[in-house]
Structure 1
Amino acid sequence: MSQNPSSSNSERDTNQVETPTVDAVNETLTTTENIEVAPENTPASPPPDDLQQTSKRGKLKIIVAIVVILLLGLIAYGLWKAYLPKTIELQGRVEAETVHISTKVPSRIEEFYVTDGQAIKKGQALVRFVSPELEAKKEQAQAALQSATAFHSTVYRGAQQENIETLYANWQAMKTQADLAATTYKRGENLFQQGVISRQRRDEMLAAQTSARETAEAAYQQYARAQRGSTEQQKSTADAQVAMAKAAVKEANALTEETKLYSPTDGTVSKTYGKPTELVATGIPVVSILEDHDLWVGLNVREDMYSAIYKTKTLEGFIPALNRKANFKVKKIDAEGDFATIKTTRQTGGYDIRSFKFHLVPEQTIPDLKVGMSILFKIEEAK
């Protein structure tokens, strides 16, 4: 079958146009891989500089947002914490009663029987003094007692029998002289009436009679008093003198006992004052004793925190020196407050804050707890 040469040429040209060569296809594929095909109706991509600026602005916005969120979170946390009760740490101190031992007698220290830090028992000897003046005073008191006792014995025993007999004999002699003077006067009166003697002589006889009579009466009273004994007033005076002398001796003995002092309680010697041969005045302590068998904790609480603790029965405290915790009971609260270590606020319309001392005791015995150790308590502030 014959073909038209022109038709064959036309189809060949058409095939050449519609069918690209292999090299052209490969080149087209390579270009397609390197260039992204933009979707339909999408504008052309911006330049690279614009892309970098857009990316920086986006990152900045994210950072600002994060900062704002953190700030809001911090503010919210601060407000939440502000409305929570605050925990305040108070510091207490272990305390004990201190007994100061002193003497009533001005004297010199002779010897100490204890040393600082020594544990002692009730009734144990502590110190001895010497006082020569006190010894002399004691001897004077004893001598006065002997004198008063002798006088008392004389008053109650009365006059001795030989003295009574002597006074009786003296009375009889005076009585005889009085009788003789009376008889002589009677004779003289008769002679005067007869004109034998003068009036002067008669008066002398009368005076002699009166004197003899009075002397005899005085002798009789002495005899009667000796026979009767001492009066009630004399006996009372003698009793009083003996009582005074005994009191003086008792006082001297009591002062002598003050020359050697003993411990009135169990405890530990805190400090001794002075040295042997030194003079000690009356009432000046020479030994201090800590009653460390009865320890307690003193805790000063300001009155603005008083309501948060005064109804509490027990508190937990931390002892730094022993590195342990312990529970303490509120034993008592001082009846009167003291000034707290805080400046006055009256100028600003406030008030002067005072503090009250709480006395706390451990619920259980704490070994090695000593006076002066710190105790830390955490207290929630009153709402």
Structure 2
Amino acid sequence: MSKLKTLAAVIPAAALVGWLGYSFWQAYQPSPVRLQGQVEAQQYNISSKVPGRIEHVLVRKGDTVAKGDLIFTLLSPELDAKLEQARAGEEAAGALAQQAENGARSQEIAAAKDQWQKAKAAAGLMEKTYRRVDNLYKDGVMAEQKRDEAFTQWQAALYTERAAYQMYAMATEGAREETRRAAQEKARMAAGAVAEVEAYAADTQITSWYNGEVTQVLLHEGELAPQGFPVVSVVDMQDAWAVFHVKEDQLNKFTPGAEFNAVIPALGDKAHAFKVSHVAAMGDFATWRTTDPAQGFDMRTFEVEARPMKPIEHLRVGMSVIIE
């Protein structure tokens, strides 16, 4: 009976000692470290490279868009006028190039030939006149001055004939190779100007370059859109990651390629696997933290990016991510 009393007294005492020991052990264990980050995702701004007035915005916040979907359209009468000017310049340059390629018209060639024949006939007449005057001079009837005048007129008529023939030959031959090539290059330059304006005109129909969800519509119908100003913002949740700020004494657990589990409270208590993709020191000096004087240095904070190893359904930008 005495043994039972002794055992009954020892057991509670042992339990009390064990509980106290466990409590002291728990008190001296390091407290668990909790890191909180948030979800970020790739965001794209859809804008136009030409200014204009918004004609139609075809999406709203929350809409899902795919690459190639029409997002908004611009109204730009000035661009339409420039396109008409460029096309008119192209037509004019093309006509000049065609003219240089075809050469002179048949009527112009015939007129040049007639001028040559006329000069040739005049030269023949002046030659006969000179011969007659020369014979009269030899017979002593005509003065030497008259013979010299007739000879000069004959030579001048010969030069006129040669000039007329060269004009006829030039009309027959057409434009020089250099002239034709210059006209062709001017036509190409005008075509390039048309293509440039057409490219700007095509950019009044703005399509999405990305798959994603519309998060912002910054301008609406009737408002002026400056060049390059974002009109619609799209976020791609298939390209999402979590961002944490980690002190360097914990950084050895987040080396590039390291894997860990984290909880997203907005999606429940299920743990999701993440993989570290990028580590970089934060630039702000305020991220430094003073350590125990015995350690002798200040710790810096690093930015860690980690991507989910599997797609996470219903993930949204700004959701908290907790690591224990």
TM-score by length of 2: 0.82
- List per-residue Cα deviations over 1:52-106 (Å, max 9, x = no partner): xxxxxxxxxxxxxxxxx9xx9799759943xx5x532222211111111111111
- List per-residue Cα deviations over 1:143-177 (Å, max 9, x = no partner): 11111111121111222333222211211111111
Q: Tell me if the contact between 2:276 and 2:304 (Cα under 8 Å) persists in the aligned partners.
A: no
Q: Tell me if the contact between 1:168 and 1:223 (Cα under 8 Å) persists in the aligned partners.
A: yes
Aligned: 1:171 with 2:120: no
Q: In the alignment, what sits opposite 1:371?
A: 317
Q: Tell me if the contact between 1:192 and 1:202 (Cα under 8 Å) persists in the aligned partners.
A: yes
Aligned: 1:216 with 2:200: no
Aligned: 1:360 with 2:304: no
Q: In the alignment, what sits opposite 1:162?
A: 107
Cα separation, partners in 2 of 1:79 and 1:317, compared to 1, 3 Å: closer
Q: Shift in Å at residue 246 of structure 1?
A: 0.9
| Number of equivalences | 301
- List per-residue Cα deviations over 1:330-382 (Å, max 9, x = no partner): 25215x5332542587xx98467252332322x3332211111110112xxxx
TM-score by length of 1: 0.70
Q: Shift in Å at residue 142 of structure 1?
A: 0.8
Q: In the alignment, what sits opposite 2:129?
A: 184
**Cα distance in structure 2, aligned partners of 1:376 and 1:79:** 24
Cα separation, partners in 2 of 1:159 and 1:322, compared to 1, 3 Å: same
After superposition, the CA RMSD in angstroms is 2.8
Alignment of 1:233-272 (within 5 A): 233-272=178-217
Cα separation, partners in 2 of 1:206 and 1:368, compared to 1, 3 Å: same
> Which of 198, 207, 226 is the equivalent residue of 2:171?
226
Amino acid at match of 2:319: M
Rg larger for: 1
Q: In the alignment, what sits opposite 1:151?
A: 96
Question: 1 or 2 for the larger relative contact order (CA 8 Å, sep ≥6)?
Answer: 2
Unpaired segments ≥5 residues, structure 1: 1-68, 379-383
> Which of 110, 130, 138 is the equivalent residue of 2:83?
138
Unpaired segments ≥5 residues, structure 2: 1-16
**Cα distance in structure 2, aligned partners of 1:275 and 1:131:** 16
Percent identity, please.
33
> Which of 270, 290, 311 is the equivalent residue of 2:235?
290
Deviates more, 1:311-320 or 1:240-249: 311-320
Q: Shift in Å at residue 321 of structure 1?
A: 1.3
Q: In the alignment, what sits opposite 2:9?
A: none
> Which of 223, 226, 234 is the equivalent residue of 1:278?
223
Cα separation, partners in 2 of 1:187 and 1:305, compared to 1, 3 Å: farther
**Cα distance in structure 2, aligned partners of 1:183 and 1:302:** 115
Cα separation, partners in 2 of 1:200 and 1:356, compared to 1, 3 Å: farther
Secondary structure of the residue that 2:310 maps to in structure 1? coil
> Which of 267, 277, 297 is the equivalent residue of 1:322?
267
